[in-house]
Structure 1
Amino acid sequence: MVVCSASVLDRRPADGLLSDWQDLEGVSKCGWIYVTYSNDIYSKTPQRLSKYSWFGNVRLLHFRVPEDAVIVRWMLTVSRGSGINCGNQNISVHFRAGAPPVINPLQTVFPNSTLVSLAHNITLIVPSGQNTNVTLFNVTHPKSGDWFLAAHLPKDEGKIEQQGLPSCSYVFQAQMFLRRAADLPILQYNIPLSQTLTTSPALFKVLDLSYPLSKHLMNLDVFIRNCSGLLGNDCKLSVTLGSDSLMPGSEVKQNCSGLNACSASLLTPPWKTWLLITLEATQPNYTIAFYISANVTVGCKPPSVPPDFNTATFIRAVIAPQINSSGALTNASSSAGDQSGTNSSEPVCMRSPSVFRDEQDVMSVRFIVSGGNLNVTSDFPTVLTLELLPGDSGGTFAIQLQLNTSSVGGGFSRVKACLTPSSPVLHLNRSQTCTTGWQGWACTDGVSALSYSRQMAAAILLTFSNFFFIPPIIVALYRGYHIEAAIYFFTMFFSTFYHACDQPGVTVMCIMDYDTLQFCDFLGSVVSVWVTIVCMARLQEPVKYVSSTFKKHLYLWNVSGL
């Protein structure tokens, strides 16, 4: 057992400004322990905000919070441009750790079977009499890793603004200030550590909960024992486990006042990261000595692979199906997991089949379940581990699940698939905009959607309006203007099918490439206006002859160019 007592002195200035934070020092019976605090500043380029109509209108900012950060402070600055009659303006800023924030300013409906946790957000107000708003947003003990900020103006009402006049534009800038603590004491499992707490909080970090232990369900327990202070054996302490990600359940707090010993538990700690433990005295100017220890309990893991590993079975079930037609094996590997027929006395609470990683080339990789089929039961879940290497970044990660109903046994025929928060496929696709009144992240909110009959009526009215070219065509043929009549027919034909192909909903009909239809429609419209003006103008014969010859060649070139 390692016994080490330390007292921490905080020489923070009274004003609490970040730029004036000083170093902290701790004195230990095991020697000098220096806990050094440093400051870092990160700034992003100012960006002009847009009114919100879909997720593409937000201004997304990315910050990286290091593992030794104990306080992060964002300074959010909004500046207004020179506008006319600019009233009070609200700006929404959303925060999320680990992934871009999921927001819903329009209060639309999400797709079915989608579990949504909206990001934390704040509202900045720029009053009518001011041009700038500066807001500070603090997060104590922030979660390390990627942090994303999304800022936008309120809903776009679709109002038309006159060009040339000064508009009420808004520019947003975010700056991040960090306070980092170096040389934090490491709390190892089942090794008690003796500490003495004074006026400043005591910080610890638990040994890295990394793979492969952390991929299974487990609990982290922190124990406080043998408290002693001026008022007896009362643990006047407050214990905080975990880091703040601005999401419910990211931190666990326990008040140990009135107890000689207490404990705090954190279910399913984060993977592959250090876990911060903070102890604070619940009474000011109070010194207390205590012992602190941590323990981790693995509550669920798949059965062990048997010692007599059957190589022939593995080759037949995993390797053989991946042999190509030439008889050569592809560049592949397999993560061994749950094997059928294992003899283990451990209780089984999950299945983890072997996953075959097939590196098809330098730019692509695929994962295949051993044997091709996956048996899912209602007794306990089946977990697939798709291990991504550092080089597996960018591109698209697609997962295809198919239910084989021919082998369904029992009274159920539905399978629920859940993805971990760190999986990149959780980012919903917002690369396209919704049409015909559909809204939402996946364009599944049909409250304001146009019905099929209304879409058909709009398409018919728009396309049939081109039939008004028929009277000019008849008049041109009657008076001998055959080239003009051909140009009018050309314009009517391509304009009709261009508008039939340019519909946003399901009433779409394209007889050829969209760009070709669009080009012919625009060309026919311009030429129709030009030949009509030439015919109506009172020009001399030489000028009219040159114009007529030019339009004949232009028409022939246009027809041959198609």
Structure 2
Amino acid sequence: YLQYGSYPVVNPQNETFPPQFHVHRQYLHHVTLQTDSEPVHLNISGPLAGDWFAVAFVAEKSNRIVQKGLHLQCKAWLTSSLRLQIAEEVLSLSPNQPLSQQISIMQYYRFYTPRDTWSATITISSCAVLPIASDVQCPLILVVKPLALPSVEQDLNLQDQSVVNCTHTVSGEACSTVVTPSAENWNYILVTVENATVEFSIHVEFTVCQDDSKKLLLTPEEATETPQLSSSSYSQLVVKPTPVFSFINTSCWKNVPLVRHTMVENFAFRYEPLSSDNSSSTSSALNITTDETTLFKFDIYPIQDIGGTLEINIVLPSTINITMNNITIAACLEYTMRPRLSANGSCGSDISNNVNTSSEDHRVLTMLVPYPEAGPWYLALTPRCYFQENEGNENEVVDVRCYSNTTHINLNIKSSSCIQDGCGDHGKCYRYFSGGFIFSTCVCSSGWRGWGCTDETNAISDFQLLLGVLLLTLSNIFFIPAIVLSVYRHYYTEALIYFVTMFFSTFYHACDAEMYTFCIMRLSVLQFCDFYSAILAFWVTLIVMADLPATLQSLTHMAGAVGIALGVEYDRTGLWVFLVPSGVGLIILTISWISHCRYQRACYPRKRTWLLCLLPGVINAAVGLVIFAFLQTDENYKYVHSAWHAAMALSVLFLLPERRESKGRDRSLNTSNCHVEELNDLNATFVYDGHQFLLPSSP
């Protein structure tokens, strides 16, 4: 997605936006690329000069929770390049100075509008087709666009382009149009003709408003003052103030100056109207006239202002007298130029709404614009008075003349992170850095989605959230039998590890919950301890099954504790941090058991142990590993992960060796060159150096 002036506002999953959000982007372009190495071209005709921003992402549709290292990650490499084609000849027009031309295809023109320009009139005169014929009309088409070159490749009926067809102009008459230009900027004209050579004269005339709210006709001498680049990073052009000239009868909109207040936080600023008593104080309260439109202009600074959400609040106080008539105010917000209102007062912008005194709820209007484009913005407020008659179940609204010449309003224009520095009850507001830029965004929880976490299409109920927390935490009680059995069999170190695993797994999942959250310490610390103790539990179980000498067993415990801590800190979600300790433990186990078999000259452990203990324990652990690595999704996580807790804890009951003797040896897994097997209540077999002796089982 490619956007002029600010970050793109995208919604690839068609999630609903928060109420009062205005997300129309006039200069937004996008393309979709496949991982087939085929280049994709995006051609933008007549791009606006200034900063452009792009966002690229991979649309991941799978809801599976996969183990890192077991599944291939989709990595896409994107290479981009930019090529510009500059228009060679763009002729500059001076006000009231006709320029004679002769074209056969097309020609670009431009004119610079000074501050407070109300309108520009473009006129084509003396149009004739060569060779001159009296019965041929003027075959010219004019396309006018502010800030950028008009485009013939795009639809000519774009909102920011004005099209004039001079083909039907009567011979000898001028073809003209009145447009609303972008003040203190360059505006462009494209004149096209097909299959003919035409000579004509083109000139432009400005109407400029002054502080006394009158329109002024700008003379050529004042309008052609040399523009100078300002220090603004978006290359705004400015001219010197224009002196007062002869008045034109119609009135301009009243222009109320705004004062900016910049906060310390990112994206935080506000604009307030300057007090009408000519003092330097500001206030959100002001009076506006009811018989004309009031205009406000404010600027969004590049980079520092575009990462938040622009918020415009208009309030009609309850103190307004509505005994004679109700009041409604139409708000029209436009980027780069003054809003264009139709004859009936309707707004030509995509960002518009109204506020009225019909009820308390309707007295407040909030307009939100995410990631506003840098540059000038204009807000037009048009009051209208009406009388509402209640007849039965029907309300009849009649427009009336306003009883008062002014009305009182409160106006606040401000910016904040996310949506009023928050994301509702189901999300948190975060600030991110990417590509050297900073922006704010909401991170939603509990299945809520959308720009402000207001889309409840996939929302999870409170019961399901509570059930998930209880399953993920209480499923760890399956470790209690393993802890008790370890203590009973004198495996105190292993019992401590199993208890630590149960403890941190319980409180990690309690802290990681989306709604019913309880944290005894930072989540990152709990996560480390959970991953570390879980892998360490695997390690100590394998070591105790190996039945090593006491000194060697102590050494392997400490080596495993240090190595696992290093691996978990390096990459706690990686596959190798689990496979390496498990693999090394299995190697130690295998070597130890082979050594036992060699010295005892018999199968080790016993067949009964293989069938009744080892086989069920391994199957139980394998099933837990399979569901953990391959079956988890976002929807079944609370069930599958809880089953993983139970499977791992119960497998310890089967894999833990029999009771350890006081010397630290296991009676059934003894590594000495003799051992006793009970055959029945009366006899036993004594094995010594490979020889068996049948002995009575008596004192």
TM-score, normalised via structure 1 length: 0.59
Return the letter of the residue paired with 1:249.
Q
- Corresponding residue for residue 511 of structure 1: 520
Q: Map 1:455-534 to 2 at 5 A.
A: 455-503=465-513, 505-534=514-543
2-side partners of 1:542 and 1:360: how far apart? 62
The answer to whether residue 19 in structure 2 is matched with residue 116 in structure 1 is no
Q: Map 1:151-230 to 2 at 5 A.
A: 156-158=61-63, 171-182=77-88, 184-197=90-103, 199-207=104-112, 209=113, 212-213=115-116, 218-229=118-129, 230=132
Q: Map 1:90-489 to 2 at 5 A.
A: 94-117=1-24, 121=29, 133-134=38-39, 136-150=41-55, 156-158=61-63, 171-182=77-88, 184-197=90-103, 199-207=104-112, 209=113, 212-213=115-116, 218-229=118-129, 230-232=132-134, 234-242=137-145, 243-244=149-150, 248-259=158-169, 260-267=173-180, 269-282=181-194, 284=195, 286-298=196-208, 349-350=253-254, 352-355=256-259, 357=261, 370-375=281-286, 379=290, 385-387=297-299, 393=304, 409=320, 411=357, 412-417=362-367, 421-422=373-374, 431=441, 433-489=443-499
Q: CA deviation at 1:536?
A: 3.7
Contact 1:187/1:205 (8 A) holds in 2: yes
Counterparts in 2 of 1:373 and 1:452: CA distance versus 1, 3 Å:
same
2-side partners of 1:225 and 1:511: how far apart? 81
Query: Secondary structure of the residue that 1:275 maps to in structure 2?
Result: strand
Long gaps (5+) in structure 1: 1-93, 305-344, 555-562
2-side partners of 1:500 and 1:176: how far apart? 50
Q: CA deviation at 1:240?
A: 0.8
Contact 2:119/2:178 (8 A) holds in 1: yes
Identity of aligned residues (%): 26
Contact 2:46/2:150 (8 A) holds in 1: yes
- Corresponding residue for residue 90 of structure 1: none
Return the letter of the residue paired with 2:538.
V
Contact 2:7/2:306 (8 A) holds in 1: no
2-side partners of 1:408 and 1:106: how far apart? 45
Query: Secondary structure of the residue that 1:415 maps to in structure 2?
Result: strand
Q: CA deviation at 1:112?
A: 1.3
Contact 1:430/1:441 (8 A) holds in 2: no
1-side partners of 2:127 and 2:487: how far apart? 106
Q: Deviation string for 1:11-37 (max 9, x for gaps)? A: xxxxxxxxxxxxxxxxxxxxxxxxxxx
Contact 2:272/2:284 (8 A) holds in 1: no
Structure 1 window deviating more from structure 2 (395-404 vs 465-474): it is 395-404
TM-score, normalised via structure 2 length: 0.49
Structure 1 window deviating more from structure 2 (181-190 vs 421-430): it is 421-430
Q: CA deviation at 1:353?
A: 4.7
Q: Deviation string for 1:40-84 (max 9, x for gaps)? A: xxxxxxxxxxxxxxxxxxxxxxxxxxxxxxxxxxxxxxxxxxxxx
Q: Deviation string for 1:433-463 (max 9, x for gaps)? A: 4444333333322212222222221121111
Return the letter of the residue paired with 2:191.
L
Contact 1:360/1:366 (8 A) holds in 2: no
Counterparts in 2 of 1:378 and 1:483: CA distance versus 1, 3 Å:
farther
